[in-house]
Amino acid sequence: SQRILDNYKAWYACQRASPLVCPNQALATELGILRTHRDLEGKDVNALSYDRAIAIIKAFPRELTPENIDKELVQLPHVGEKIQSKIREFIRSGVIEEAQYLRRDERFQSLKAFTTIHGVGASTARTLYSIGLRTLEDMERYYDVPVDDYGNPKLEEEEPIFTPNGRRVPRTAKLPDLSIKTALALRHELAVPIPRDEVEEMHAIVMAELDQLQPGCISTIVGGHRRGKPESNDVDIVIGHSDIQNGGELIKGLCKRLVHRLYERGLVTHVTHLSGFHAHNALRTTHWDSLEKALCVFVLPEDGQQKRLHRRLDLIFAAPEAYWTAVVGWTGSKMFERDLRLWAKKEKGMKFDSSGMTRRHDSQLYFPRSEKQVFDLLGLEWIDPTLRNV
Ligand code: TTP
Ligand code: MN
Ligand code: MN
């Protein structure tokens, strides 16, 4: 609604409409370089300031120009003097000099490349740099990743067995872990963005397998796909059960069973994280695992001659009372989620996360029946998933 669009100066990102591409996109991208730099160097407070300022730019409804900048900028929350001057520099000259410098800086380039590997955070990246590594090829040698005849990294995996009907079946019964070494070996494939139709194809195959184990399951594709991104870096699926009364019992343990089934089918090749149910706990203040989750590597069955790429797949199983909070919690973006939790806590005396919603003073657990109801219970105006691209 127009009211949401007019809300661009609101304090919390979850009150503002943030489209996928905003009128000041080039500015947001340039500020993003500075944000990434602060993040890579461990300056978390600084990085968060940039996150908040970029979030404001992403919701700003008009193009900023040399003519309107003075008037517009002073009215915006979360944009301190330092970042204001960076914004002015960009509006005046079309670039931010520091960002231009960083793009060519060896240390920045190295740290950024290292963190593209699943499981490598900023602090690991800094350690790798400090012991002399500079490129991903250095990192491959350091982690002893095997290479093929062309020098390209390859998977150190046992040859799969092919059954008479042509299905790939892994030889061992144990699910391999997605280690840094494996992530390096797969890095070229995992870096290829996933188009929307392939996301939907993966979803359909996963749900068909799940139906064989437990009929009646429901699901929502979440993450960037749900926010309208034309291409995603992984596939995120929230899974629940249509039986409100018994659904929790029916899907308990199902996450593990599904992943093992997908593994036996040759559809899942690696897993990074497999967790069971914990109850939503109103007393815990930090975000923690409270649903059944599996973060995996998935590969579609070969389609004629077409070789299919390894893809990251996140599966989140939620009991009926947590289904819609899980959908909201995993739709993102990360900044939208951060401010949702903050809004719930500071403004509503509630604890919100993917695993549920509770009133703080008496720990009463809510049971939202739709995504809209999650917003209603939090006292927030509805924001379409495609406008949560903070
Ligand atoms: P991601 O899949 O990491 O990001 P994305 O889907 O927005 O974009 P893309 O995959 O294309 O890069 O996370 C999806 C949402 O899930 C994110 O907004 C926050 C949530 N999330 C958690 O709640 N816990 C987690 O451990 C992770 C990794 C994500
Ligand atoms: Mn995602
Ligand atoms: Mn994900």
Q: How far is the CA of 118 from the centre of ligand 2 (A)?
A: 13
Q: Is 337 in the pocket of ligand 1 (CB under 6 A)?
A: yes
- What is the predicted pLDDT for the residue at 254? 95
Q: How far is the CA of 256 from the centre of ligand 3 (A)?
A: 18
Q: How far is the CA of 97 from the centre of ligand 1 (A)?
A: 31
Q: How far is the CA of 342 from the centre of ligand 1 (A)?
A: 18
Query: Positive or negative CA dihedral for 174, 180, 184, 187?
Result: positive
Ligand 2 ion local residues (Cβ < 5 A): 223-224, 234, 236
Q: What is the DSSP letter of 306?
A: B
Contact in structure between 158 and 171 (CB atoms under 8 Å): yes
Q: Which ligand sits closest to the CA of 289?
A: 1
Identity at 385, one-letter amino acid code:
P
> What is the DSSP code string of 135-154?
SHHHHHHHTT--B-TTS-B-
The strand pair at 350-353 and 235-241 is best described as unpaired
Ligand 3 ion local residues (Cβ < 5 A): 234, 236, 314
CA dist., res. 126 & res. 344, Å (int):
35
Q: Which residue has a Cα nearest atom 23 of ligand 1?
A: 330
Contact in structure between 199 and 139 (CB atoms under 8 Å): no
> What is the DSSP code string of 55-106?
HHHHH--S---TTTHHHHHTT-TT--HHHHHHHHHHHHHSS-HHHHHHHH-H
For the sheet containing 292-299, what is the strand order?
217-221, 235-241, 310-317, 292-299, 268-275
* Residue 193 alpha carbon, nearest atom of ligand 1: 11
Q: Which ligand sits closest to the CA of 275?
A: 1
Q: How far is the CA of 312 from the centre of ligand 2 (A)?
A: 9
Q: Is 233 in the pocket of ligand 1 (CB under 6 A)?
A: yes
Residue among 324, 341, 377 at smallest CA distance from 13: 341
CA dist., res. 127 & res. 122, Å (int):
9
* Residue 334 alpha carbon, nearest atom of ligand 1: 18
Q: Which residue has a Cα nearest atom 1 of ligand 1?
A: 223
All domains of the chain, ordered by start, with CATH?
A: 2-104 (1.10.150.110), 108-142 (1.10.150.20), 171-390 (3.30.460.10)
Q: Which residue has a Cα nearest atom 25 of ligand 1?
A: 330
List the pLDDT tens digit at each of the 390 positions of the chain.
Answer: 688 888 999 999 999 999 999 999 999 999 999 999 999 999 999 999 999 999 999 999 999 999 999 999 988 999 999 999 999 999 999 999 999 999 999 999 999 999 999 999 999 999 999 999 999 999 999 999 988 888 888 887 655 666 656 666 655 557 888 999 999 999 999 999 999 999 999 999 999 999 999 999 999 999 999 999 999 999 999 999 999 999 999 999 999 999 999 999 999 999 988 877 655 665 543 333 458 999 999 999 888 878 899 999 999 999 999 999 999 999 999 999 999 999 999 999 999 999 999 999 998 999 999 999 999 999 999 999 999 999
